Amino acid sequence: MQISNNNKREGGQRAVNGSRVTTFLTEGGGFLLIMLLPALLVLGFVIGLPMLKALILSFDTINFRRPAAAGTFGLHNYEKLIFDAQVWHAVWRSALYMAGTVAGSIVLALSAALLTRRIVHFRALARLAFLIPWTVPAVVTALVWGVMYEGNFGVINRLLDPLPFFDRTDWLIDRDTALPALILAQVWNEFPVAYIFFLAGLHSIPEELYEAARIDRASAFNQFRYITLPQLSSITAVIVILLMIMGFKSFPIIFILTGGGPAGATETMTVLTYNTAFRKLDFSYAATLGILAVFISLAMVLVYLRVMKRAERGVDGAV
């Protein structure tokens, strides 16, 4: 600090006025400003401004089908939202979708992680194999599963055909199977995230716990029940909330495979927002739906932050 003060003084002798500005810019609050401002301006333009516009839109009546109504300001979109059964069905479907993807991903990821941990050979290869679906873009996931689910020639129907009591189904067109079919595609695409976390979590469990259990002749199941599961609890909480957020955001898989159909059976919040804006051209109502979605995801982010903090305290070094 002493030396830097000397420097400042030397600089001051050279150019009295210029140096104070320069010092402010390179050392003090000005430095913070230089570092933060560009990014904050950019974020303000690409995220802040749209959010503000969404708020304005939600009070306006911008519907390209009824251009004359533009400029009618009021709370009508929010009033409509509260009593709109379609919206609350979409929220419910998003919840189902999230629950399905969380449950499916956790079962798949945990079994894969437990198996990967206990083998000695090919561990790196196994890890790589289970991570590959994660690198597949959601658009491609949708296309591939779309081809596999196809009713007449799809490979899933062909593989399941020999099973007794199985009738060929058009998975994405049948009302009862469409949502589970989408969930399966999403699970396939996102379970590797849970897998990575579970591997890290398993890695951080002290081996002494298992050694002690073996001395006490605890069965493999009891070791899992009383050591592995409790030790994984905080990381599981992180995984659950992370997968919930990812499931809530999910758009390409649902949109490309069903577009919300058949007859709205797979219309989640994101797809409903998109359809309201770009199919019904009711941008004001879509913006209102978008704001509802932001509040739902904000709630999840707050839970995520809390859970993350606990996990960092608990499993030190795992995440």
Partner 1 sequence: MARPVGNSTGTEILRVCALVLLGMIVLFPVYWMAMIALTPTGFSRSLSGIVPEQITFENFIILFTERPMLRWMGNSIFVAAASSFLSLAFGASCGYALSRIKFRGSGLVLILVLATQMMPATSIVVPLYILFRDFGLLDTMQGMVLGHISLVAPLAIWMSKGFFDSIPADLEGAARIDGCSRLSAYWHVTLPLALPGLAAIFIYGFVTSWHDFLFAKTLINSQSLWTAATGISSFRGEYFTLHELQMAAALVFALPVIIVFLIMQRRIVSGALAGSVR
Nearer to partner 1, 111 or 233 (CB): 111
Tell me which residues in 159-178 interact with partner 1 (CB under 8 A): 159
Q: Strand, helix or coil at 91?
A: helix
107 lines the binding site for partner 1 (CB under 8 A): no
**Contact flag: residue 196 with partner 1 (CB under 8 A):** yes
9, 15, 18, 26: which one contacts partner 1 (CB under 8 A)?
26
For residue 63, the cross-strand partners are: 282
Our CB check for partner 1 shows the closer of 75 and 129 to be 129
Closest C-alpha to 131, from 45, 78, 192: 192
Q: How far apart are CA 226 and CA 143, in angstroms?
A: 42
By CB under 8 A, name the one of 130, 183, 231, 258 that touches partner 1. Answer: 130
- Rounded CA gap, 61 and 283, in Å? 8
Residues 6+ apart with CB under 8 A from 308: 238, 319
Does residue 226 interact with partner 1 by CB under 8 A? no
Find the Cα–Cα–Cα–Cα dihedral 224, 225, 226, 228, rounded to 10°: 40
215 binds partner 1, rule: CB under 8 A = no
- d(CA 127, CA 199) in angstroms, rounded, equals 9
Both structure tokens of 283 = 């941008």
Among 9, 168, 175, 214, binds partner 1 (CB under 8 A): 214
Q: Which stretch in 3-11, 74-82, 99-107, 168-176 sits in contact with partner 1 by CB under 8 A?
A: 3-11
For the CB of residue 47, give the shortest distance to partner 1 in the complex, in Å: 5
The structure tokens 């019904």 sit at 280
Q: Which is nearer to partner 1, 116 or 265 (CB)?
A: 116
Interacting positions 255-314 with partner 1 (CB under 8 A): 255-256, 269-270, 273-274, 277-278, 283, 286-287, 290-291, 293-294, 297-298, 300-301, 304-305, 308
Can you read off the two tokens belonging to residue 264?
A: 């709205």
Q: Is 24 an interacting residue with respect to partner 1 (CB under 8 A)?
A: no
Residue entry with tokens 């995984």: 239
What one-character DSSP code corresponds to residue 174? S
Contact flags string 51-90 toward partner 1, x per CB under 8 A: x-xx--x----x----------------------------
